[in-house]
Structure 1
Amino acid sequence: MTERETTRLVAWSNELRRVHVRIREALQVTREAVRDGTSSEQASRDLLLYCHGFCAALDGHHQGEDHALFPAIEAAHPQLAPVLRALTQDHSMISHLLQGLREAVERAAPPAELDRHLEGVAAIMENHFRYEEKQLLAVLEGLELDAAVRDVLGPL
């Protein structure tokens, strides 16, 4: 195996960590936009800007995992199928929470309500990321997957 191939293998675990950090940062910026809004209208306008990017990034990340990463992991490590199913269920739950956030933004919900939606997303997302990293980082260090990072881990 060449040095470049070894670097690519290890890079999948590093890429996952980087994507998680960027999504966490996007959530923080989004929450700050809500807290800085002095009115429902202002918070909703700001959140429209940030939510679209944050929601698209998180959705894209999970879609990439569901369609590219998890099948590759399951093919190489079938014993991880229950872990992958649990992570996929988390993706569905987070998607549902994001839809509730989008709906609240579209109807210009008060900042306190928007923050509650973001708090719910943050709690589930953080728990999900920690579990995913605990279960998959070691596997990702040896995973052979010839694909673009964007296709596997999303647009961030």
Structure 2
Amino acid sequence: MTSPSDAQHQGESFVQELRWVHGMIRRDLNAVQRLAAETLEGATSVDLRAEIDSLQTDGPLWKLRMNCLHYCSFVHGHHSLEDRALFPALLESNRKLRPVIDKLEADHRAVAVHLDEITAGVDELQQDGAPATRLRLVAALDTLAGHLLEHLDYEEEAISPTLRSWTR
């Protein structure tokens, strides 16, 4: 039988895991934004290679730090998993979360549009590398950051109480 303190500890582990993944998303977004800004200032791929390589070896399990495409793919996958598995489970545990889940799903759709813009910008950058292309990529990353960081904070705050009630 699970004691209340065991259940609280197990639920807290869900919250900590969510924050850990979101922390990686935040760190990687910051690194990708900084690298994109450096390209806007004229840095070449040669200039950035060492930093990209250090990102690749500096991360935990996932190699999402390799480039924007990996980052975008990871965030898409993370949100897809939340939509398919986490959110239905949260609703099963707490029906009062319906408006929260609706907002989070709408956020995921909006973030997906921004991620797709970044992916297109990276593809375009590979083709021409023009300053205007670099500027669009930096702007797309900045727009993503504004939406994604707000979303991550809201999600953690809104669903953590229900996650804390879960037991494994």
Match of 2:33 in 1: 31
Q: Secondary structure at the match of 1:107?
A: helix
Report how far residue 50 of structure 1 moved.
Answer: 1.5
Match of 2:143 in 1: 120
Match of 1:91 in 2: 108
Pick the aligned partner of 1:71 from 88, 104, 120. Answer: 88
Q: Secondary structure at the match of 2:166?
A: coil
Cα deviation digits, residues 80-102 of structure 1 (max 9, x gap): 11110110010011001110111
User: Hey, what's the Cα distance between the residues in 2 that align with 1:99 and 1:69?
Assistant: 23
Cα deviation digits, residues 21-66 of structure 1 (max 9, x gap): 10000111111211222548749x9799411221122111111110
User: Hey, what's the Cα distance between the residues in 2 that align with 1:8 and 1:56?
Assistant: 29
Match of 2:78 in 1: 61
Give the TM-score taking structure 1 as reference length: 0.81
User: Hey, what's the Cα distance between the residues in 2 that align with 1:115 and 1:121?
Assistant: 10
Percent identical pairs in the alignment equals 25
Q: Any unmatched runs of 5+ in structure 2? A: 53-64
Cα deviation digits, residues 82-129 of structure 1 (max 9, x gap): 110110010011001110111111011632211100011000001111
After superposition, the CA RMSD in angstroms is 2.5
Larger Rg over CA atoms? 2
Report how far residue 8 of structure 1 moved.
Answer: 3.0
Please give the residue correspondences for 1:1-156 in structure 2 after superposition, counting only pairs within 5 Å.
1=2, 7-37=9-39, 38-39=41-42, 42=45, 49-108=66-125, 110-144=133-167
Amino acid at match of 1:63: S
Q: Secondary structure at the match of 1:143?
A: coil
User: Hey, what's the Cα distance between the residues in 2 that align with 1:105 and 1:41?
Assistant: 14
Amino acid at match of 1:123: G
Q: Any unmatched runs of 5+ in structure 1? A: 147-156
Report how far residue 74 of structure 1 moved.
Answer: 0.2
- On the 8 A contact 1:29/1:50 being kept in 2, the answer is no
Amino acid at match of 2:79: H
Amino acid at match of 1:71: P
Match of 2:61 in 1: none
